[in-house]
């Protein structure tokens, strides 16, 4: 028997780049007991004998995050929708994504997530959940992870439906060669020779040394205006046997309902607090885009956005290009293909911006989270809510109920009664929240 009144510690990690958007946190990482699962069931479950649909939700952040943090408290959503909500930790940063296959370290974070799905299948009925009706979802890196689990033949059968919010689907699966070079650089900072003995040397180090080397390497390799993590899932390693495009083309998601969405201004979270990207000139914005996507493509994309928004500043244009390239375009590609093959597909955009918005964040990355989980008091000092916190107004709470109720209905039925499924051929509208 264990005391499960509170969530366990987070996996050891570096601070998130998004703390400036949401709110800073007191570090609570601890290797001992950090790989935990949190289950939220309606009060009547499981005593009433009803098997309820399950939502397994992955937090964002290949570098940081925890399913046990209060911003992901699933109690409100569980009660509102009469569903069972599961959140969980998985290894992040160098603990989860350091690529050293010669010592058995390859996509350990995704392997943790696969184990969680196994545990859900074996145990969720004891909490009133239906193991045959499991929606796997998440936000940001969590959405990326949920899609990987659905596309991997080893875990595909455990996924009934998909809920993907703000996934960075413009981020290609990491090449094994590039991941190995990053791992070698990390080992050099730790003065550890590559090879079979690296495992013993790594395990002998305090975890803070691993994280400190990760911080230093991230700072050294950081690309201005780039939101990608230093380490993330590697193609060909466990959990990612093939590309997303290959798996989708093979019909791997056939028959699985999909709800996929973005926020309107995703990339402001990564750019608004960086003085190098706050007041760009057109020439600098083009230089940054050229470094990321190539000269001709940069010119074309930049001009397309200028034509669409002629009054926008170069910084606003750059942010819009980043939002489309990293988040929106990939989401629509997935939705177009899934709907085009006759599968139930729903597409949404979250557009609620804080009333007071001194950093011009708009509806930024992570903006939908307090509305989905009803956790307005979890980021009382964060710009994402303009400091509203527990004082969130009636409009915010009403929007939260609408958004969360829609998600819960999808988890329950795989459809939404007052929302026509997405069909790109006939111009079906995207549903807007906020």
- Nearest alpha carbon to residue 45 among 33, 37, 35, 54: 54
- With respect to residue 394, please indicate whether it lies within any of the assigned structural domains: yes
- With respect to residue 2, please indicate whether it lies within any of the assigned structural domains: no
Span 125-140, mean pLDDT? 98
SS3 224: coil
pLDDT for 27 equals: 82
- With respect to residue 219, please indicate whether it lies within any of the assigned structural domains: no
Whether the per-residue pLDDT at 389 is higher than 60: the answer is no
Query: 268 lies in which domain range?
Result: 17-173+229-275+327-433
What does pLDDT average to over the chain? 92
- With respect to residue 104, please indicate whether it lies within any of the assigned structural domains: yes
- pLDDT tens profile 99-116: 999 999 999 999 999 999
pLDDT for 371 equals: 95
CATH number for the domain including 113? 3.40.50.1820
Token digits of residue 205: 């180090």
Q: How many angstroms separate the CA atoms of 193 and 201, rounded?
A: 9
Start-to-end CA span in the chain (Å):
44
Burial track 362-377 (b if 16+ CB lie within 10 A, e otherwise): bbbbbbbbbbbbbbbb
- pLDDT tens profile 156-209: 999 999 999 999 999 878 899 999 999 999 999 999 998 888 999 999 999 999
Q: 38: which strand partners? A: 87
Q: How many angstroms separate the CA atoms of 368 and 81, rounded?
A: 17
Residue 391: pLDDT band by 50, 70, 90 thresholds? low
Among 20-24, 128-132, 305-309, 344-348, the range scoring the smallest mean pLDDT is 20-24
- Range among 4-8, 111-115, 373-377 rated most confident: 111-115
Token digits of residue 146: 């949920």
CA distances from 403 to 81, 131, 398 (A): 11, 25, 9
Q: How many angstroms separate the CA atoms of 270 and 319, rounded?
A: 9
Whether the per-residue pLDDT at 295 is higher than 90: the answer is no
Whether the per-residue pLDDT at 226 is higher than 90: the answer is no
- With respect to residue 127, please indicate whether it lies within any of the assigned structural domains: yes
- pLDDT tens profile 62-76: 999 999 999 999 999
Q: How many angstroms separate the CA atoms of 249 and 420, rounded?
A: 24
Flag whether the pTM goes above 0.85: yes
pLDDT for 214 equals: 96
In what order do the strands lie in the sheet containing 257-263? 37-40, 84-88, 52-58, 129-139, 161-165, 257-263, 345-350, 431-433
Domain count, the chain: 1
- With respect to residue 223, please indicate whether it lies within any of the assigned structural domains: no
Span 5-10, mean pLDDT? 92
CA distances from 291 to 285, 294, 295, 311 (A): 10, 6, 8, 25
Gyration radius of the chain's alpha carbons: 21
Percent of the chain scored above 90 by pLDDT? 71
pLDDT for 390 equals: 45
- With respect to residue 306, please indicate whether it lies within any of the assigned structural domains: no
Q: What is the residue whose two structure tokens read 């050891």?
A: 12
- With respect to residue 407, please indicate whether it lies within any of the assigned structural domains: yes
pLDDT for 278 equals: 79
Quick one: how far is CA 152 from the chain centroid? 18
- pLDDT tens profile 400-411: 999 999 999 999
Token digits of residue 341: 């093959």
Q: How many angstroms separate the CA atoms of 13 and 59, rounded?
A: 14
């Amino acid at each position: 028997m264990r005391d499960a009144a509170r969530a366990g510690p987070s996996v050891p990690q570096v601070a998130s780049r998004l703390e400036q958007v949401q709110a800073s946190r007191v570090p609570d990482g601890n290797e001992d007991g950090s790989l935990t699962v949190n289950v939220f069931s309606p009060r009547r479950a499981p005593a009433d004998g009803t098997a309820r649909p399950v939502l397994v939700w992955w937090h964002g952040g290949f570098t940081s995050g925890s399913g046990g943090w209060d911003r992901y408290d699933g109690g409100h959503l569980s009660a509102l929708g009469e569903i069972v909500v599961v959140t969980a930790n998985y290894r992040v940063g160098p603990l989860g994504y350091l690529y050293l296959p010669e010592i058995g370290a390859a996509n350990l974070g995704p392997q943790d997530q696969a184990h969680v799905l196994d545990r859900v299948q074996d145990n969720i009925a004891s909490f009133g959940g239906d193991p045959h009706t499991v929606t796997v979802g998440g936000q940001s890196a969590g959405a990326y992870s949920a899609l990987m689990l659905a596309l991997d033949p080893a875990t595909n059968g455990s996924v009934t439906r998909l809920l993907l919010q703000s996934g960075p689907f413009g981020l290609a699966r990491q090449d094994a060669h590039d991941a190995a070079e990053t791992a070698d650089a990390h080992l050099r900072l730790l003065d550890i020779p590559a090879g079979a003995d690296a495992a013993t040397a790594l395990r002998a180090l305090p975890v803070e040394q691993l994280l400190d080397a990760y911080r230093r390497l991230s700072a050294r390799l950081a690309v201005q205006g780039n939101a990608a993590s230093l380490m993330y899932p590697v193609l060909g390693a466990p959990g990612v046997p093939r590309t997303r495009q290959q798996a989708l083309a093979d019909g791997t998601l056939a028959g699985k309902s999909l709800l996929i969405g973005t926020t309107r201004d995703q990339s402001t979270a990564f750019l608004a607090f960086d003085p190098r990207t706050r007041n760009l000139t057109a020439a600098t914005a083009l230089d940054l885009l050229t470094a990321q996507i190539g000269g001709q493509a940069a010119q074309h994309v930049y001009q397309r956005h200028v034509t669409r928004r002629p009054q926008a500043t170069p910084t606003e244009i750059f942010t819009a290009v980043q939002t489309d390239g990293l988040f929106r375009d990939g989401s629509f590609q997935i939705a177009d293909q899934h709907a085009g093959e006759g599968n139930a597909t729903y597409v949404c955009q979250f557009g609620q911006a804080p009333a007071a918005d001194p950093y011009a964040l708009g509806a930024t990355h992570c903006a939908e989270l307090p509305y989905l989980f009803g956790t307005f008091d979890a980021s009382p000092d964060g710009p994402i809510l303009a400091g509203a916190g527990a004082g969130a107004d009636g409009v915010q709470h009403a929007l939260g109920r609408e958004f969360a109720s829609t998600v819960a209905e999808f988890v329950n039925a795989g459809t939404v009664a007052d929302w026509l499924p997405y069909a790109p051929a006939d111009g079906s509208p995207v549903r807007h929240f906020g």
